[in-house]
Amino acid sequence: MQDETDPPPSDPPSPGADPEPDAAGGRRTVFVALGAAAGLAGLAAGCAAPPLSTAAAPAVPGAPAPRGRLEGQSVLVTGAARGIGRAICLAAAREGADVLGFDIAGPASRHVGYPPATPADLAETERLVQALGRRFLPVQGDVRSRPALARAVDQAVGAFGKLDAVVANAGIMVPEGIAEVNDEGWRDVLDVNLTGAANTFRAAIPAMSARRRGRMVAIASMLGRMGAPISPQYNAAKWGLIGLVKSAALELGGKGITVNAVSPTGVNTVMLRNARQYAAVTPRAVPGRVPEAVAATASRTVHPLGVPWVEPEDVAAVVVFLASDEARYVSGASFDVTAGLGAIYTA
Ligand SMILES: NC(=O)c1ccc[n+]([C@@H]2O[C@H](COP(=O)([O-])OP(=O)(O)OC[C@H]3O[C@@H](n4cnc5c(N)ncnc54)[C@H](O)[C@@H]3O)[C@@H](O)[C@H]2O)c1
């Protein structure tokens, strides 16, 4: 979801024109690591088995209309008001799912340096899903409250008859180094990004295990698979989230539930495209004075596919795959959506 007040940067200056040399070593790499579509192409190319869904069936005169990959399913998405969460709601609806969108739709922490989502944002997600012909239940709540999530699951089951998939997407970013990080800000990031995701999964277990079928997806981050010198609490939460996914996958497989993570590089949302983030990732930056084009150029140079960030829709596409029948035996995995940068991992 592009921030309409913040137009995309123009093409980068030619090499050598970057006014901010990379004096801080890995900081450029870190910027892009904040955060996706190469994985899908690889999956499709490597898949020898016949397709499980009818979504790609050729149009035959008189044949029934093609069905979406999530036709008739019910999906709960946290952080649904905007950004990646909204893109997931829309992608799921486009594939035939009804959606419960859960969001705090207000400030989650006073340490976050970018504007919070609003009830109007959540209402806009609702409007967009309904325009696709699917049902949408907006629920305002905080992922730090497991009872609130349990109620949301009940609402989804009440309205849609079942719960097929949950996406633990809600998250916040506070770019503060370990030397200066504030105690409360530290707790907020861990509580929302890690405990909030655990709460989301835990709330869904009863409804999913009763049907012996369920899909759980967490939006982690490339910063859950590598280190970075700008956000230790965010890194710790996202590394923890992938650990949670793997443990839950092992435990819940016997209940017919798959659990996976998606780990994006920087994504074109408010969380990434704000002045504080640009300052945090740019050497010798004056806060609030780093032009977006400078940060974007630094980021573009480290992505093998040559983009400064990926789009929320690139992340949503992988989530749809993981929620679909095609991914019935995919569990305990983390899927990079990193425009190629994830190749720097050791494995
Ligand atoms: N944008 C990136 O560069 C990037 C990269 C990798 C991973 N991610 C992850 O993707 C997820 C979505 O991020 P985004 O970029 O769309 O950010 P965003 O700020 O645009 O959206 C996050 C949404 O989560 C909601 N939210 C925050 N705290 C909440 C809480 N306590 N309870 C309920 N809802 C809450 C917000 O209101 C907002 O609508 C996050 O987990 C983030 O860490 C983002």
Test site for ligand 1: of 118, 121, 169, 271, most ligand atoms within 8 A of the Cβ: 271
* Ligand 1 pocket check for 295: Cβ under 6 Å: no
* Ligand 1 pocket check for 267: Cβ under 6 Å: yes
Q: Are 334 and 260 in contact (CB under 8 A)?
A: yes
- DSSP strand pairing (165-168 vs 334-337): unpaired
How far, rounded to the nearest angstrom, does the alpha carbon of residue 206 sit from its chain's CA centroid? 24
**How confident is the model over 194-246, as pLDDT tens digits?**
999 999 999 999 999 999 999 999 999 999 999 988 899 999 999 999 999 99
pTM: 0.85
Q: Whose CA is nearest to atom 1 of ligand 1?
A: 267
Q: Whose CA is nearest to atom 23 of ligand 1?
A: 79
* Ligand 1 pocket check for 241: Cβ under 6 Å: no
What pLDDT, on a 0 to 100 scale, did the predictor assign at position 285? 57
Atom of ligand 1 nearest to the CA of 196: 31
What pLDDT, on a 0 to 100 scale, did the predictor assign at position 295? 82
Low-confidence stretches of the chain (pLDDT < 70) are: 1-59, 65-66, 281-289
Q: Give the length of the chain.
A: 347
Structure tokens at 267: 């994504």
* Ligand 1 pocket check for 1: Cβ under 6 Å: no
Q: Whose CA is nearest to atom 30 of ligand 1?
A: 142
**Dist. CA 169 → ligand 1 center (Å):** 6
Neighbours of 250 (CB within 10 A): 12
* Ligand 1 pocket check for 35: Cβ under 6 Å: yes
The CA-based dihedral angle spanning residues 253, 258, 264, 267, taken in that order and rounded to the nearest 10 degrees: -150
What pLDDT, on a 0 to 100 scale, did the predictor assign at position 294? 81
* Ligand 1 pocket check for 196: Cβ under 6 Å: yes
| Pairwise CA distance, residues 314 & 39, whole Å | 10
Test site for ligand 1: of 30, 118, 167, 269, most ligand atoms within 8 A of the Cβ: 269
- Catalytically active residues are 234
Q: Whose CA is nearest to atom 4 of ligand 1?
A: 35
* Ligand 1 pocket check for 342: Cβ under 6 Å: no
The CA-based dihedral angle spanning residues 274, 77, 136, 75, taken in that order and rounded to the nearest 10 degrees: 150
Which residues make beta-bridge pairs with 167?
A: 77, 217
* Unique residue bearing structure tokens 């780990």: 263
